[in-house]
Structure 1
Amino acid sequence: MGSGATDSRELLPELAVLPGHLLWRSAARVHAALAEVLPPGVDLHAYAALLALGGGATRSQQELAQTISVSRTTMVKVASALAEDGLVERVRSPEDRRSYALTRTPAGAAAARRWRRHADAVEAQVTAGFSDAERDELRALLGRVAQDELSPEVPAPLRESIGFLVTRVHARTHREALGALEPVGVEPRHYATLTALTATGPVPQAELARRLGLSGASMVQIADELEQRGLVERRRPPADRRVQVLHLQPGAEDVLDEAGRVVRAQVEQVLATLSPAEVSRVVSLLQRLVTAP
């Protein structure tokens, strides 16, 4: 699922109002749906690349990576697999012999048509319980937020995918939050953990992981980092020495306050194209996306 996330449905009230946290949890739901719905041999990045090569277009791997919003490393793997399966022709670019140009084959066009139903199934699972009007509303709001991040060549089926838009807006929000929080000395995941601990008080490490939607291994790493910063302390209660309870330490509140100001300003910038009422609506819809059974 990536980033140490789990497909948890629980949301702490204190985190349920934070757009950045909701986007992260929503992206986790998308990745969980991909893992559950897509059959072996179907890769959504490959599907996106085949869409971007529609209409007889020939594009470099770099152009494709920008178009479907993936890293160059991921694009190299996707292109290699598509070429091996005969779904694209891959040749050295005449303008730059160090790069490849890709063209979709007839088999690739057929694969894109077949894979569309799997992409639709992922979308249906992510937005289960939403009406068509609500899907359209969330799609339109996320599309406005993501507009500056998307290449003009992004295929229409991707622009219309809530799953794709959620992951793109989350990627931007997380990237910018990392940079904004660097002077504070914490990361978005640390901010969420400190926020949760402030709300719950001392809590077992495993319980906090569940409430945050984190894997146990990720929670251990975060607790290690916060403990090294002197912001959190692990304690083993006498009644059960197997349990590690997390306690906030003096100074954590000041760090959390500073981080909160930074995060709020950064998220306001990301969502600047939306009115306050629209931001509230996005928050409400993402809460439902995260918590829907």
Structure 2
Amino acid sequence: MSEQKDPAVQAELAQYHDRSALFSRPGFLIRRLHQIHTWLFAEETQAYNITPVQYSLLTALAEHGEMDQNTLAYEIGLERTSVAEVLPRLEARGVVERRQSPLDRRVKLVKISRKGRALAKRMAAAAQRAHDRTIELLPPEEREQFMLQLIKLVEANNDGSVVPLRLR
């Protein structure tokens, strides 16, 4: 079955491509949108001094409870070494607690502290504003479809063959 292409969409894409070949590269556009979102997140949450990665860690721990660092890294799509670098800063702030597993002393277990839960709750509205601002220029009827497409792309590529990102 051949793919039906919308001529209006094709013409609009061609205009962007004529402006720059980068607009035909999904990776470039995803990276650029990530930069934009990171800036919006920082702007909305500056009073809390928490990065998007740190907020993701707190959110995952609040949602799933105590877990080992490897599972936490997988949950938020980062290398375990990146998570191991971020957690001491959060622990020093008192928003997470770490301990050795009683079953395997090589394994570190992490949980969100009461202070961390309170912080995540206090900054939830600011973080949501950043998320909303990231896609607010889409027509309202397209936002849910865009989110669904993002989820499908992430899930389709989340089979373990793609290495999680390392923080720089």
TM over 0.5: yes
Q: Equivalent of 2:78, from 183, 195, 214? A: 214
Q: Which residue of 2 aligns with 1:277?
A: 141
The separation in 1 between residues aligned to 2:19 and 2:4, in whole angstroms, is 23
CA distance in 2, matches of 1:186, 1:132: 45
Give deviations 1:234-253, integer Å, cap 9, x for gaps: 11122211110001111212
Which whole-Å CA distance do the structure 2 matches of 1:218 and 1:132 have between them? 43
1:112-141 CA deviation, whole Å, 9 max, x = no partner? xxxxxxxxxxxxxxxxxxx776xx98xx8x
Aligned length: 148
Structural mapping, 1:9-28, within 5 Å: none
Q: Does 1:178 align with 2:31?
A: no
Q: Which runs of 5 or more residues in structure 1 are unaligned?
A: 1-130, 144-149
| Cα distance between partner residues in 1 of 2:98 and 2:4 | 47
Q: CA separation in 1, counterparts of 2:121 and 2:114?
A: 13
Task: Report the Cα offset of residue 154 of structure 1.
Answer: 4.1
CA contact (8 A) 2:44 2:129 kept: no
How do residues 121-160 of structure 1 correspond to structure 2 at under 5 angstroms?
154-155=19-20, 157-160=21-24
Give distance in 1, aligned partners of 2:140 and 2:67. 34
Q: Which has the higher contact order (CA 8 A, sep 6+)?
A: 1
- For 1:164 and 1:217, the matched residues in 2 are separated by 26
Counterpart of 1:262 in structure 2 is 126
Larger-Rg structure: 1
Judged with a 3 Å threshold, the aligned counterparts in structure 2 of structure 1 residues 230 and 161 are, in CA distance, closer, same or farther, namely same
Aligned Cα root-mean-square deviation (Å): 2.5
SS of residue in 1 equivalent to 2:37: helix
TM-score normalised over the length of structure 1: 0.46
What runs of 5+ residues in structure 2 fail to find an aligned partner? 158-168
Distance 1:190 1:181 in 2: 12
Question: C-alpha separation between the residues in 1 aligned to 2:53 and 2:73?
Answer: 11
Superposed, which structure 2 residues align to 1:1-293 within 5 Å? 154-155=19-20, 157-293=21-157
1:177, 1:188 within 8 Å by CA — same for their partners in 2? Answer: yes
Q: What one-letter code is carried by the residue in structure 2 that aligns with 1:193?
A: L
Deviates more, 1:194-203 or 1:253-262: 253-262
2:127 is aligned with what amino acid? Answer: V
TM-score normalised according to structure 2 size:
0.78
Q: CA deviation at 1:214?
A: 0.5
Give 3-state SS (helix, strand or coil) of 2:143's partner: helix
